[in-house]
Amino acid sequence: MTQATIEYASELMKIPDAREMVAEARDICDAVPAVYEELADTTVPVNVKHVVIDRIFPLGVRNFLKLLCDNGDFGLFYEIIDEYREQMKKPREVEAYGELIYVTPPTDEQMIGIRDFLGKEFGNKDIELTMKQDESLKSGFIIRVGSKEFDWSEAGRIRQLEERLSRAVTEGRSRSEDNIISILRSTIEDFELAAADKEIGVANWVGDGIVNVDGIDHANYGEIVIFDCGVKGMVQDVRRDEIGVVLFGRDTEIHEGSRVVRTGKMAGVPVGDEYLGRVVDALGAPLDGGAEISTDTYRPIEMRAPGIVDRKSVSVPMETGILSIDSMFPIGRGQRELIIGDRQTGKTSIAMDTILNQKGKDTICIYVAIGQKSSTVAKLVGTLKNAGAMDYTIVVSATASDPAPLQYIAPYSGTAMAEYFMYQGKDVLIVYDDLSKHAVAYRAISLLLERSPGREAYPGDVFYLHSRLLERSARLSPEAGGGSITALPIIETQAGDVSAYIPTNVISITDGQIYLESQLFFSGQRPAVNVGLSVSRVGGAAQRKAMKKAAGSVRIDLAQYREMEVFTQFSSDLDDATKKQLEHGRSLMELLKQPLGHPFSMADQVIILVGANAHLFSDIPTAEIQDFRAKLLKYFHDEKNEIISRLESYLDLPDDLRKSIETECENFKSGYLEDKDA
């Protein structure tokens, strides 16, 4: 071989996937010798040769063939091809290492094809392959280079076919003959020989539900990876030389050296109407012992919140049925109202009453239990079933016994389910019980991932943890779908400290808070709503006109009563005005007491408030106010139903209707006192 031939062959080696194109060019010259003779003839003009090359030969080698014609060396074509094939067989300077697994050793022709493929895939790097025989492949090859695996084996085809069949059954299709033939046909057509998009990594450290993985260089934050034992995990930390993965299952079957494969899919959860009435875990799997949930719709658990343009102002009430809240701290559809207080002060009870009050109001409810005891969740589900509320409710449970990653993603999974209904134009109420435990789970994950701890050992992005969750609650404009998500996040305080890190974070994210005070709760005032520290930043904009007019000065009267009560503890001689104010305040406090699981309708609340503002209850003994209220409401429902119908129809409180309510209240009171005296 001449030096020119060797140099030309070396240039061919630099062209990706040149082997097939060179073979095609040679076949053309063999089939039509006149073409070769014309290109090798030095008397033929170069521009004519270029036209022939553009019309006949493969695109990838045209420039090389034109170079031969320009230099007058096309006569060396066959010698160059022979030298190129020899150079393909020679080992070159090793730039990477790989492994070739086979059943039968590859032929020379197969090795040329393998080398050509690797050159194209890895930019013509010289890769040294170690050979390994494995009878379990049945036939074909597997090549592993770095973190990538390419599977040409029969075992790989069988595995993909099994996955297709199992996925078809999961999606609800039977294993009928027609379906299997259809799957076989599509599998043959779509089978991917190379797993180029599925990087293979190796676990180098395992512990406490966290795995550090080497060899996966292109994973995305939040991407799902699968371990060789079948356990799924989510990429939660992307570093320069490794990734940190949080597990959605137990780590007992994972050890150092376990293989990990990318899926290319972000963490998501199945959604749909099929979930109504079910209790599921953070991944959407049923926990209630019922049938498997079949749905083809998935949503990512992390989604961007609706923009300003897509939002509509909060103006439609989300009535809780709790008099103290609906009258003084109204909640609107699309609002985020925080429920905050110490342990065992009735936070969950308020959320449950709100869910019960949505019956018959075309509202979907989602209750997310984070870090609760399983027995507590079971009791809540029983309460909802007995009240008939499970028909429109989904319970997402990540109990204290579940791994921290499941507690971490549970509220995001619940929000993804809520967004499915919101973008269909439906109203959704979602309860996060509670976000304090959610922050603790995230702190545990972050510390195990060796992130720098900040205030109270929480990571620096703990504010973003809850802001990106709660910002997804909104009321959409009609153009964007018209639905809404109303969020009731719950935060547990320690000894009433609302200025702690997590409480202040969530207070600044939400549109108001209902503060439950331990002292009020233990004194028998339930719900134990603190009038001074509670607030709704939406206020009267999300309140019915009738409720707004009836509530009047209730909040101010209660605040004055609390101050006056403290002041009068040291005085025994009170004037009549002060006595009257104290009596009115005591009656209001007693009226705001409400049995658990008995929400009031809007009409009932208006009647109670109108009577309270008319001082109807002031001279009733405190111990009898609850009984008097119950009988008063029964009287209106049984004998004055036209007043209730008018309130529910017009949602307003004109003066004549207010006077009618006051008159009927006085009439009932007179009869009540007469019966009592008799």
For the chain (length 678 residues), average pLDDT per consecutive 10?
Answer: 79 73 85 86 87 83 85 86 79 66 81 76 72 80 78 74 58 52 53 54 90 88 90 91 90 88 89 96 93 90 93 94 94 96 95 95 97 95 95 96 93 97 96 96 94 93 96 95 96 94 96 94 92 88 90 86 76 76 90 91 94 90 91 92 91 92 92 78
- Residues with catalytic roles: 537
Q: Are 114 and 84 in contact (CB under 8 A)?
A: no
Task: Report the C-alpha gap between 431 and 486 in whole angstroms.
Answer: 9
Task: Report the C-alpha gap between 512 and 328 in whole angstroms.
Answer: 12
Task: Report the C-alpha gap between 490 and 192 in whole angstroms.
Answer: 48
Task: Report the C-alpha gap between 389 and 391 in whole angstroms.
Answer: 5
Task: Report the C-alpha gap between 382 and 390 in whole angstroms.
Answer: 9
Task: Report the C-alpha gap between 194 and 143 in whole angstroms.
Answer: 9
Helix (H) or strand (E) holding 184: helix 177-190
Task: Report the C-alpha gap between 255 and 203 in whole angstroms.
Answer: 7
Task: Report the C-alpha gap between 332 and 548 in whole angstroms.
Answer: 14
Buried b (16+ CB within 10 A) or exposed e, 5-15: beebbeebeeb
Nearest to 244 by CA among 284, 213, 200: 213
Task: Report the C-alpha gap between 331 and 325 in whole angstroms.
Answer: 8
Alpha helix positions (H), 510-654: 518-522, 545-551, 554-567, 576-591, 602-613, 625-639, 641-650
Residue 217 phi/psi, 5° resolution? -100, -15
Neighbours of 103 (CB within 10 A): 16
Joined together, the tokens standing for residue 233 give 């995990």
* Type of residue found at 593: K
Task: Report the C-alpha gap between 535 and 434 in whole angstroms.
Answer: 20
The number of helices, as runs of H, and strands, as runs of E, in the chain is 24, 21
Nearest to 605 by CA among 380, 323, 356: 323
Task: Report the C-alpha gap between 179 and 165 in whole angstroms.
Answer: 9
Residues 6+ apart with CB under 8 A from 84: 9, 12, 13, 18, 22
Joined together, the tokens standing for residue 391 give 């028909």
Joined together, the tokens standing for residue 118 give 């690797």
Nearest to 26 by CA among 82, 102, 91: 82
Joined together, the tokens standing for residue 177 give 């003959």
Over its C-alpha atoms, the chain yields an Rg (Å, rounded) of 37
Task: Report the C-alpha gap between 672 and 609 in whole angstroms.
Answer: 19
Nearest to 155 by CA among 125, 133, 134, 182: 134
Joined together, the tokens standing for residue 484 give 């809404």
Nearest to 66 by CA among 37, 87, 86, 46: 46
- Give me the count of residues in the chain: 678
Predicted TM-score (pTM) of the model is: 0.74
Please tell me whether residue 629 adopts helix, strand or coil conformation: helix
Per-residue pLDDT, 123? 65
Looking at the DSSP bridge assignments, the partners of residue 366 are: 394, 430
Residue 539 phi/psi, 5° resolution? 65, -140
402 CA to centre of own chain: 17
Q: How many C-alpha atoms does 152 have within 13 Å on its Cβ side?
A: 15
Residues 6+ apart with CB under 8 A from 389: 355, 356, 358, 359, 365
Residue 642 phi/psi, 5° resolution? -65, -30
Buried b (16+ CB within 10 A) or exposed e, 255-288: eeebebbbeeebbbbbbbeebbbbbbbbbbeebe
Task: Report the C-alpha gap between 200 and 92 in whole angstroms.
Answer: 26
Task: Report the C-alpha gap between 352 and 594 in whole angstroms.
Answer: 13
Looking at the DSSP bridge assignments, the partners of residue 640 are: none
Long-range contacts at 41-50 (CB < 8 A, ≥ 24 apart): 42/72, 46/70, 49/74
Nearest to 247 by CA among 303, 207, 217, 215: 207
Task: Report the C-alpha gap between 514 and 490 in whole angstroms.
Answer: 10
Nearest to 535 by CA among 354, 379, 331: 331
196 CA to centre of own chain: 28
Task: Report the C-alpha gap between 337 and 322 in whole angstroms.
Answer: 14
Helix (H) or strand (E) holding 444: helix 435-448
Task: Report the C-alpha gap between 132 and 112 in whole angstroms.
Answer: 18
